[in-house]
A and B are shown apart, each in its own frame.
Chain A
Amino acid sequence: MTQGDPRPPPLQHGCDSWWHWSRRHKSPEVLLYARTALFHPNWSHGTAAVRGSRQLNGGVHYWEVQVSQRLFGTAVMFGVCTASARLHANAFVSLVGEDIHGWGLSHKGLVWHGGQGRRYTDPFRENRATTVGVLFDGEAGTLGFYKDAQWLGVAFTGLDTITEPLYPVISSTAAKTKLTLGVTRRAWAGLQDRARHTLLAALPPNPRLLLHALPLPPALRHYLEDDLPPSDTKILPVSAAPPPRHS
């Protein structure tokens, strides 16, 4: 089957993206704490999913999901979906990609969209922890996956033609599975985005009141507020030093 291509994680030259699993857009069978999603905490009689809190369209995004050792069952899935995709089912299904509203990779090594599955990579070894990386390129319209730092290739194309908002999504049919969000990165969206980052990195924590005091038109202030990290995170300024080499 497909051999992975080892390469360093993408978007080294991008910036951190401040999104997390959404408390509002999830199955009741998903519990969230910090960046971890716990699926079916007692026992499972269906499929549960949770969506990311920000839409992806137009940008290039990369995120990693650390899968705990408890990996088994019908489908543990990673991918993207629109707001129309359902996030809960009372049956064990490959939920992400069961219809046209999602595009997903299941731990069985199949990729799903529009209810059609096809072989993409080897099935994951069950009951072995792993890290799945998802690379969404909203400009080229592609979605591809990494597994333990191995690039597995482009799984889907044509995503740049989707006009509805697209969100990261994970789903699981198996009880007590834990999926933890790791790095979340995105590409720079232009010079204004980079200047915003420099400005925000210089502000003290919780700067919303300070931003209101700046003499900016509301649209620009909203644009600044849009990239504020969660209150416990400090933005690291972009440095003039060359990036470290990867061995």
Chain B
Amino acid sequence: MASNVPSVPSEGLNGPNSMYIKLIAADGHEFIVKRNLAYYAKTVKDMLESGPVQVKEDEPSVVHLKKIPSNALIVVCSYFAYKHIYINANTMIPDFPIALRDSLDVFMAADFLRC
């Protein structure tokens, strides 16, 4: 990736209980999101918690999503944030619009990720 992208301090990403995790789309785009938000996707939670390989304390928590393009993954990450803000809200909840050009990819991604 570009060399001028700021790097996230590794303490935030390392270990099985890190605050952040990294989701990597099929085209290589990396999305760093809070672990509790990404866990709205049951598949991500299962992969990180019950996967065959447990993350070591000095290794980043990374999930490679080889079948999800970045235009869909960015919508999924936005949805995590939207859900977290408005879950249990009593205020008027705004709609979460999905662009038609992304909708089939998002549909397939949400099916795989179970969210």
Binding site for B on A (CB under 8 A): 12-13, 190-192, 194-196, 198-199, 202, 220, 223, 237-240, 242-243, 245
Contact = CB atoms under 8 A, between A and B. Distances in A.
A191 B95 contact: no
Give the 9 A-B CB pairs with smallest separation, nearest first: A192-B110, A195-B107, A13-B93, A191-B110, A198-B103, A195-B106, A240-B97, A198-B98, A238-B95
Interface residues of B, number: 21
A179 B24 CA distance: 54
B103 A242 contact: no
Interface string B85-115: 0000000111111111001101110110101
26 contacts: A12-B92, A13-B93, A13-B94, A13-B95, A191-B79, A191-B106, A191-B113, A192-B115, A194-B98, A195-B103, A195-B104, A195-B107, A196-B107, A198-B98, A198-B99, A198-B100, A198-B106, A199-B104, A199-B107, A220-B107, A223-B111, A238-B98, A239-B97, A240-B95, A242-B94, A243-B92
Interface of B: 75-76, 79, 92-100, 103-104, 106-108, 110-111, 113, 115
Contacts of B100: 198-199, 202
Q: Most B CB atoms within 10 A — which of A190, A195, A223?
A: A195
B98 A220 contact: no
Nearest to A14: B93
A223 B113 CA distance: 16
Nearest to A223: B111
A21 B90 CA distance: 31
B98 to A, nearest CB: 5
A44 B71 CA distance: 61
A192 B108 CA distance: 8
Contacts of A242: 92, 94
A155 to B, nearest CB: 20
A35 B115 CA distance: 33
A194 B97 CA distance: 8
A196 B97 CA distance: 12
Contacts of A202: 100, 103
